[in-house]
Amino acid sequence: MSRTSGGRDKAADPPPFFLRDPRFRGTPSLNTGTSEVESMEDPELKSMLADLIWLDALIATELIQVTENTSAILRKSPPPETCLKDHQALRATALAIAEKYHKDTALARHLGKHQ
């Protein structure tokens, strides 16, 4: 019987969600009888992944802005120009990824308002 550092029995913990949810069991090694390719053709799963990719891009762009704002507050001046250029390129990359899966959202318009 293995125990964690807190003395709890590891065997008492439930399995991770992806082992409980049959939609995430795309490999034969998990004894589901479906292949990875078949599970990726599930429209609900594809939609969910597209939403998560878009949301990750949104979070990334907002974190860039938070970083710039924090830097400006701490420095009491704008971030260095080289950082601003790099951040703009990172925002453009995140936006391209987001728009690959969800076109015509408010993300591009919102990013245009970022300084």
Average pLDDT over residues 4-16: 61
- Same domain membership, residue 51 and residue 36: no
Task: For the chain, count helices (H), then strands (E).
Answer: 5, 0
- Same domain membership, residue 48 and residue 23: no
- Same domain membership, residue 24 and residue 65: no
Distance CA 74, CA 83 (A): 15
State what percent of residues in the chain have pLDDT above 70. Answer: 65
Q: Please check the confidence at residue 1 and state whether its pLDDT lies above 70.
A: no
Distance CA 26, CA 36 (A): 4
- Same domain membership, residue 62 and residue 6: no
- Same domain membership, residue 115 and residue 102: yes
Q: Is pTM beyond 0.85 here?
A: no
Average pLDDT over residues 7-22: 64
- Same domain membership, residue 62 and residue 19: no
Q: What is the total count of domains within the chain?
A: 2
The kind and range of the H/E element at 84 are helix 81-101
- Same domain membership, residue 62 and residue 95: yes
- Same domain membership, residue 53 and residue 19: no
- pLDDT-derived band at 23, boundaries 50, 70, 90: low
- Same domain membership, residue 50 and residue 103: yes
Tell me which residue range forms the domain holding 97. Answer: 43-115
Average pLDDT over residues 20-40: 56
Average pLDDT over residues 60-79: 93
User: In this structure, are residues 10 and 2 in contact, taking their beta carbons and an 8 Å threshold?
Assistant: yes
User: In this structure, are residues 37 and 49 in contact, taking their beta carbons and an 8 Å threshold?
Assistant: no
Distance CA 58, CA 109 (A): 12
- Same domain membership, residue 80 and residue 104: yes
- Same domain membership, residue 33 and residue 56: no
